[in-house]
């Protein structure tokens, strides 16, 4: 059991001074006289305020304590313990003279960052290929409110030569490179948008020599929908394959046009559906 508490006088000092602390840096036990506990075992946690259960999840923790418009707010995170989605933030607030309140967790699969800005807390995901930046604000009066999303924009200055930097990790990052993304779009045509979304799932990748190989699968459906991306860096050529749910593997261009090293990757990736 984890018992988290913050000395009351620190809260009120922060209210007047505009101070915010990362939760891990403070001895948190109580907030304005309210006891906060996280009880349970590994991957089975329960959040309680004054002994009352208010939230359960596999993983629960706290990131930062701040004061918004005179109201102490504890920013926490919650996760189900899987690898399909990142943890989601929530806010515990303690209105002076009122009862504690909980807002969230925010319904998001991508990693959510936060920033304290004046009389509100802003939350956002990073925009990426196939998805915009989701944005929310939190205030003591209105709780969590959804804001207008910010669209993703590829780096128009990037091209195939940037692959030589070897910074590409997840295959979705290839779509942020305008030059490489254009080559993928030229190859896939009307299937581009669907493939781009698929390659932004549970993913990983690596360079083998000058070539990049990345794989991805649909969250919670990894055995049903998945994709492969092979980028032949020196030849500036794209080879793509994907397995739609309930259908056969699609290969672009035809497999007869794939170089042998790309065919080896394709065979290894496709073996799970044999």
What pLDDT, on a 0 to 100 scale, did the predictor assign at position 11?
40
Contacts for 252-259 with beta carbons within 8 Å, 24 or more apart?
252/187, 252/188, 252/191, 253/187, 258/230, 259/232
CATH annotation of 160-273 = 3.40.1420
pLDDT classification of 5: cutoffs 50, 70, 90: very low
**φ, ψ dihedrals at 131, nearest 5°:** -150, 145
Report, as an integer, the average pLDDT of 143-157.
91
Report, as an integer, the average pLDDT of 216-238.
94
What pLDDT, on a 0 to 100 scale, did the predictor assign at position 192?
95
What pLDDT, on a 0 to 100 scale, did the predictor assign at position 125?
87
7-63 pLDDT tens trace: 443 443 344 334 444 444 333 557 888 888 888 888 889 999 999 999 999 989 888
Beta bridge partners of residue 102, listed in sequence order? 92
Choose the weakest-confidence range: 3-12, 133-142, 222-231, 251-260: 3-12
Considering only the C-alpha atoms of the chain, give the largest distance between any 2 of them, rounded to a whole number of Å: 73
Choose the weakest-confidence range: 21-25, 77-81, 207-211: 21-25
Cβ-count burial of 182 within 10 angstroms (0-12 exposed, 13-18 middle, 19+ buried)? middle
Domain residue ranges of the chain, discontinuous segments joined by +: 2-150, 160-273
Question: 188 pLDDT exceeds 80?
Answer: yes
Q: Does 220 or 121 have the greater pLDDT score?
A: 121
Report, as an integer, the average pLDDT of 214-235.
94
For residue 149, give the H/E element and its range.
strand 143-150
Report, as an integer, the average pLDDT of 235-247.
97
Beta bridge partners of residue 120, listed in sequence order? 117
Is the C-alpha dihedral spanning 228, 233, 234, 235 positive or negative? positive
What pLDDT, on a 0 to 100 scale, did the predictor assign at position 163?
97
pLDDT classification of 2: cutoffs 50, 70, 90: very low
117-133 pLDDT tens trace: 999 999 998 777 767 88
pLDDT classification of 6: cutoffs 50, 70, 90: very low
How far apart are the C-alpha atoms of 154 and 147, rounded to whole Å? 22
Tell which residue, 206, 202, 200, 162, has the closest CA to residue 180: 162
């Amino acid at each position: 059991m984890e018992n988290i508490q913050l000395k009351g006088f620190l809260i009120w000092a922060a209210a007047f001074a505009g101070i915010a602390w990362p939760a891990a840096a403070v001895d948190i036990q109580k907030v304005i006289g309210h006891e906060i506990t996280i009880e349970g075992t590994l991957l089975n946690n329960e959040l309680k305020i004054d002994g009352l259960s208010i939230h359960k999840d596999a993983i629960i923790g706290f990131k930062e304590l701040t004061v918004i418009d005179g109201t102490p707010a504890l920013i926490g995170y919650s996760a189900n313990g899987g690898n399909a989605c990142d943890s989601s933030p929530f806010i515990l607030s303690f209105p002076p003279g009122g009862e504690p309140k909980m807002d969230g967790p925010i319904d998001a699969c991508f990693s959510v960052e936060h920033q304290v800005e004046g009389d509100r807390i802003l939350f956002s995901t990073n925009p990426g290929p196939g998805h915009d930046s989701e944005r929310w604000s939190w205030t003591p009066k209105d709780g969590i409110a959804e804001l207008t999303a910010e669209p993703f924009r590829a780096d128009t200055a990037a091209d195939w030569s940037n692959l030589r930097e070897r910074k590409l990790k997840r295959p979705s990052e290839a779509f942020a490179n305008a030059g490489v993304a254009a080559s993928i779009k030229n190859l896939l045509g009307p299937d581009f948008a669907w493939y781009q979304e698929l390659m932004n799932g549970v993913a990983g990748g690596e360079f083998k020599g000058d070539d990049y190989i990345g794989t991805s699968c649909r969250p919670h459906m990894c055995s049903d929908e998945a994709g492969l991306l092979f980028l032949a860096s020196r030849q500036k050529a794209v080879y793509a394959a994907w397995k739609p749910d309930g259908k056969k593997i699609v290969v672009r261009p035809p497999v007869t046009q794939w170089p042998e090293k790309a065919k080896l990757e394709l065979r290894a990736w496709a073996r799970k559906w044999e």
